[in-house]
Amino acid sequence: MKYHTVVRGLCLSAVLFAVPAWAQVTVRINLAPPPVQYEIAPQLEPGFAWAPGYWAWNVDRHVWIRGRTIVQRDGYRWEPDRWEQRDLAYYRHPGRWERDAGHHVIKAKKPKKAKHWNNAAGDDGPGQGKGGKGGKPGKDR
């Protein structure tokens, strides 16, 4: 039983020390990003948003990441990636969803399905057999 307590304690320690590895990585560089490249956003279908392109840092230089279509979140707007200058360094802030205070969800009404029966098969509706009088199929009254 003492063995299980030691193993459990070691596992718990490993988990607690691994948590900082999940923290967000901040990129700090001394080289300003090039000017933004403007892209033509495609015409979007309902339920999608456009995330514009941005300059990312790749080891020793900036690289352009093209814009992309992303799934829209109701009540939010996409805040694009950006670089911020603080003192002599530049910090990249990744794009994220920001709550849109002026957003009102409007639900589209679904059209009701028309109730129709397959009269070509000789069926006059539910509960009605041949002849349309509500009796058992094949039985005439």
**pLDDT digits 0-9 by tens, 14-61:** 544 544 444 556 667 888 899 989 899 899 999 999 999 999 999 889
C-alpha to C-alpha distance for 48 and 84, rounded to whole angstroms: 27
The total number of structural domains that make up the chain = 1
Q: Is 6 helix (H, G, I), strand (E, B) or coil?
A: helix
C-alpha to C-alpha distance for 37 and 125, rounded to whole angstroms: 63
DSSP state of 89: E
Rg of the chain's alpha carbons, rounded to an integer? 31
Judge whether 139 lies within some domain: no
Judge whether 83 lies within some domain: yes
Judge whether 65 lies within some domain: yes
* Mean pLDDT calculated for residue range 86-106: 85
Element (H, E) at 65: strand 61-65
Judge whether 120 lies within some domain: no
* CA contacts within 13 A on the Cβ side of 13: 6
Judge whether 8 lies within some domain: no
Query: CA-based angle 41:47:49, to the nearest 5?
Result: 30
44: domain range? Answer: 23-101
Query: What are residue 110's DSSP bridge partners?
Result: none
Q: Which residue did the predictor score with more confidence, 87 or 28?
A: 87
